[in-house]
Amino acid sequence: MLKLLQALDRILRGEVTRPEALANGKIQVSLRSIPVIIVLLAMTYGLCMGSYSLFKEPGPNVVGADRVLQVLASTVKVPLLFVLTLAVTFPSLYVFNALVGSRLSFTSLLRLLVASLAVNLAVLASLGPITAFFSVSTTSYRFMQFFNVIVFGIAGLLGLMFLVQTLNRLSRATEPIRDEPPQPREPFASAALPMAEQVSSDEAESIAPSDELSNADPGDSNGQPLPVVDQPTSDVRTRNNKDVGALERLDGHFLSAHVKTVFRIWIVAFGLVGAQMGWVLRPFIGNPDQPFTWFRSRNSNFFEALLDIVQRLFF
């Protein structure tokens, strides 16, 4: 378990997505250990999400066993929600990725999405205690529905930010660095002479340095050579990237227009599929006026239901 947490911590701190770690164009994320921690994180939030059924006032058709079953169902359904959403949307992403000529292979693309889901679920699980707190402190079923939509939205947004920034770094990971040609050194000139001072040709010959002095290295008044100051390079990849965070944008790393368009389309598709998948797998919280059931009937859709919740809460 400790190794799983350490692997997750390396992703959250950006250690596996720093430019030097992506030098070969691959993200070093295990497809064995990270999915395990993803499932555990999803189950953690599902447990917190379903805890509302333990503290609600049960209706006349609700029995004691329904509360426990709802917690169990939520714990199982949250991991299922993300697994099914990824399974539905991944084929389209792979095809789009191939069409725009991206160099990400099937495995690299899958590792990238797994790492993004790890960030998403880590944020979601960290917000679980807050969800459990509101589950204990409120009896409003509509409010808890709306609150969980907001929590899922926040976690999803941070996960997608990680996806875009990591893809941004991967797109330049294998690109060669172009060295700038060396710049000629500026001739040494004394700062004591004002540039506006004009001298005649005779005066210039009288004060001109001898050949011996002109060929010598410039120095100070005591004849000691002046220290040479290194000029900073303009290449952005020479910066120290040891402290770069997972969501930090690096200067000079930009995705092509086609890759941006493809991933924006896929992000929208992932969000739509995820929202509707959650509607298909409901209930996650448990209506206090209805008996427990593993799945509700497929009437309406997520967006109509969300609009109805907002209207009843605020209007």
pLDDT lower than 70: segments of the chain: 59-61, 171-244, 249-256
Question: What is the rounded distance in angstroms from the CA atom of residue 69 to the CA atom of residue 123?
Answer: 26
Other CB atoms within 10 A of residue 112 CB: 22
**What pLDDT is recorded for position 281?**
93
Q: Looking at the domain assignment, is residue 219 inside a domain?
A: no
Collapsing DSSP to helix, strand or coil, 57 comes out as: coil
**What pLDDT is recorded for position 314?**
86
Q: Looking at the domain assignment, is residue 105 inside a domain?
A: yes
Q: Looking at the domain assignment, is residue 89 inside a domain?
A: yes
| Amino acid sitting at position 159 | G
| Structural domain harbouring 80 | 2-174+243-314
Looking at residue 19, the DSSP 8-state letter turns out to be: T
Compute the Cα dihedral for 294, 297, 303, 305 and give only its sign: negative
Q: Looking at the domain assignment, is residue 187 inside a domain?
A: no
**What pLDDT is recorded for position 4?**
87
Question: What is the rounded distance in angstroms from the CA atom of residue 30 to the CA atom of residue 4?
Answer: 10
Angle between helices 33-50 and 2-12 (to 10 degrees): 90
Question: What is the rounded distance in angstroms from the CA atom of residue 174 to the CA atom of residue 237?
Answer: 12
Q: Looking at the domain assignment, is residue 33 inside a domain?
A: yes
Question: What is the rounded distance in angstroms from the CA atom of residue 155 to the CA atom of residue 153?
Answer: 6
Q: Looking at the domain assignment, is residue 197 inside a domain?
A: no
Rounded to 5°, the CA angle 6-12-16 comes to 80
Rounded to 5°, the CA angle 41-170-155 comes to 30
Q: What tokens appear for 193 in the block?
A: 């002479």
Q: Looking at the domain assignment, is residue 221 inside a domain?
A: no
**Total domains present in the chain:** 1
Question: What is the rounded distance in angstroms from the CA atom of residue 148 to the CA atom of residue 127?
Answer: 10
**What pLDDT is recorded for position 106?**
86
Q: Report yes or no: 85 and 270 within 8 Å, Cβ to Cβ.
A: yes
Could you report the per-residue pLDDT of 140-169, keeping only the tens digit for each? 899 999 999 999 999 999 998 898 888 877
Strand partners, 219: 225
Q: Looking at the domain assignment, is residue 22 inside a domain?
A: yes
Q: Which residues of 142-162 are buried (b: 16+ CB within 10 A; e: fewer)?
A: eebbbbbbebbeebbebbbeb
Question: What is the rounded distance in angstroms from the CA atom of residue 283 to the CA atom of residue 300?
Answer: 14
Q: How far lies 70's CA from each of 159, 166, 195, 201, in Å?
A: 27, 37, 84, 99
Phi, psi of 225 (to 5 degrees): -65, 140
**What pLDDT is recorded for position 139?**
86
Q: How far lies 312's CA from each of 19, 57, 60, 315, in Å?
A: 48, 20, 23, 6
